[in-house]
């Protein structure tokens, strides 16, 4: 059994060596071609033949004079991958193969930044992933240094330098304590891609209201509503006012307007008013005429 296997492997090695020799003798191919660059294929022999270059994304066909070099201009082959070469003459057919690899210089960045909106003060809340492509949209698998920068309007800058692995690099960043529109930039040399990350206020903090008589009603007004970092909670955020009096309850869901919420409710002596927003409770006021 072992003898048969040895013979088989030996025969295969001899066949491959003969094929390589035959290819060298008849058709000279480049080992690799950079996407979009010029290249040539040297044939041997006499007479006319047709040269086919077949890859996953492209096919080239050219009539050639055997014994001469067939030159291909820059931009002929742009899709990276393995290409099969067939030289079909009147009496013989020769074949071989070579690889087209991505260009070294990055030309495009696909930058995925998530999320586009998040609360302030979140550790590792922002993720960025970059895929590096050449000018023909081939993924550049060679290690490339990517610079990630997250800049907030307050001037805070977070910076990370990441080397790509298999064409991709990723990082995580923290959201800062101040709300605003941050610029998230991924950069390679002079090439960059920008994403916008909105840092928004968190839950209201220290929600407080005051009450005052307004005719037959009580006017309840909140202090300017802010989160725990001091950012103003945006207008439109719902604040719920509740009045409890003598077993009856009244509620109003009032959106913030100009940073405060304001409502008028029935003025019953002994009524208890409370305020809340989402799951955050504010203060309570007992109304006595």
Partner 1 sequence: MNNGRLLAALLGALTLALVAIGTVWPAPSAAAYSGAGSMLRSSSTPQAAVENLGEEIRKQAWEKAYGSLANKAQFTEPEFVKDLTGYSPSLLTYSTLDRFEVRPLHASADEAEMELKLHWATVVGLSVSTRDLHVVRNGDRWEAEWPIVREAMVPPQVIPVNYLRWDVIYRGPGDDWGSQDVEAPHVRIVDMHPVDRAEGVVILGELLNEDVVPAYVSVSATLLSKSQSAIATEGSFDKIDHLLLPKQVTPFLIQFHNVALSDVGSIRMTPLSALIPASADPVVEIASEQLHPAPGASLTGQLINQSGQTVNVAHVLGTFYDKSGQVVWVADQYVDQALSPQTPVPFEIHIPEDLARNVSSQRTIVATYSFGGFQ
Binding of residue 199 to partner 1 (CB under 8 A): no
DSSP-assigned letters across all residues of 106-161 = --EEEEEEE-SEEESS-TT-EEEEEEEE-TTS-B--S--EEEEEEE-TTS-EEEEE
Binding of residue 208 to partner 1 (CB under 8 A): no
Find out whether 91 and 101 touch, Cβ atoms under 8 Å.
Answer: no
Q: Residue 277 carries which DSSP code?
A: E
Nearest of 101, 121, 278, 130 to residue 195 by alpha carbon:
130
Place of tokens 């007004």: 221
Nearest of 263, 284, 282 to residue 273 by alpha carbon:
284
Options 265, 267, 271, 285; binder of partner 1; rule CB under 8 A: 265
Q: How far is the CB of 238 from partner 1 (least distance, A)?
A: 4
Binding of residue 204 to partner 1 (CB under 8 A): yes
Dist. CA 99–CA 91, nearest whole Å: 27
Dist. CA 51–CA 100, nearest whole Å: 17
Q: How far is the CB of 98 from partner 1 (least distance, A)?
A: 30
Of 156 and 250, CB closest to partner 1: 250
**Exposed (0-12), middle (13-18) or buried (19+): which is 227, by Cβ within 10 Å?**
buried
Options 196, 206, 213, 214; binder of partner 1; rule CB under 8 A: 196
Q: Residue 257 carries which DSSP code?
A: B
Of 29 and 113, CB closest to partner 1: 113
Binding of residue 215 to partner 1 (CB under 8 A): no
Of 147 and 274, CB closest to partner 1: 274
Binding of residue 250 to partner 1 (CB under 8 A): yes
- Stretch of 1-9, 54-62, 163-171, 237-245 lying at the interface with partner 1 (CB under 8 A): 237-245
Q: How far is the CB of 242 from partner 1 (least distance, A)?
A: 8
Dist. CA 107–CA 103, nearest whole Å: 9
Binding of residue 247 to partner 1 (CB under 8 A): yes
User: 173: which strand partners?
Assistant: 126
Find out whether 78 and 59 touch, Cβ atoms under 8 Å.
Answer: no
Binding of residue 115 to partner 1 (CB under 8 A): yes
Of 43 and 231, CB closest to partner 1: 231
- Stretch of 15-23, 52-60, 111-119, 169-177 lying at the interface with partner 1 (CB under 8 A): 111-119
Of 156 and 274, CB closest to partner 1: 274
Of 43 and 277, CB closest to partner 1: 277
Options 64, 86, 112, 122; binder of partner 1; rule CB under 8 A: 112
Dist. CA 133–CA 197, nearest whole Å: 24
Binding of residue 128 to partner 1 (CB under 8 A): no
Please give the residue ranges that form the binding site for partner 1 (CB under 8 A).
110-113, 115-117, 131, 193, 195-196, 200-201, 203-204, 233-239, 247-255, 257, 263, 265-266, 277-280
């Amino acid at each position: 059994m072992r003898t048969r296997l040895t013979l088989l492997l030996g025969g295969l090695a001899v066949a491959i060596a003969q094929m390589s020799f035959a290819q060298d003798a008849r058709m000279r191919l480049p080992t690799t071609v950079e996407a979009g660059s010029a290249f040539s294929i040297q044939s041997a022999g006499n007479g006319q033949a047709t040269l086919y270059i077949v890859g996953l994304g492209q096919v080239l066909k050219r009539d050639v004079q055997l014994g001469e070099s067939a030159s291909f201009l820059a931009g002929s082959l742009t899709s990276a991958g393995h290409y099969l070469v067939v030289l079909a003459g009147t009496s013989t057919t020769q074949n071989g193969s070579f690889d087209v690899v991505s260009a070294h210089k990055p030309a495009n960045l696909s930058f995925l930044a998530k999320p586009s909106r998040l609360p302030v003060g979140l550790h590792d809340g922002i993720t960025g992933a970059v895929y590096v492509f050449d000018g023909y949209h081939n993924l550049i698998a060679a290690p490339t240094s990517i610079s990630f920068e997250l800049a907030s309007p307050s001037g805070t800058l977070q910076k990370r330098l990441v080397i790509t692995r298999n064409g991709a690099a990723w990082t995580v960043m923290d959201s800062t304590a101040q709300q605003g529109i941050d610029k998230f930039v991924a950069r390679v040399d002079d090439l960059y891609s920008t994403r916008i990350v909105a840092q928004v206020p968190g839950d209201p903090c220290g929600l407080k209201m005051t009450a005052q008589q307004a005719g037959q009603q009580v006017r309840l007004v909140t202090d300017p509503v802010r989160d725990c970092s001091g950012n103003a909670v945006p207008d439109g955020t719902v604040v719920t006012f509740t009045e409890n009096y003598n077993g009856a309850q009244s509620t109003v869901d009032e959106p913030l307007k100009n940073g405060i919420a304001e409502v008028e409710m029935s003025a019953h002596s002994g009524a208890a008013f409370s305020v809340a927003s989402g799951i955050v409770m504010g203060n309570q006021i007992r109304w006595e005429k």
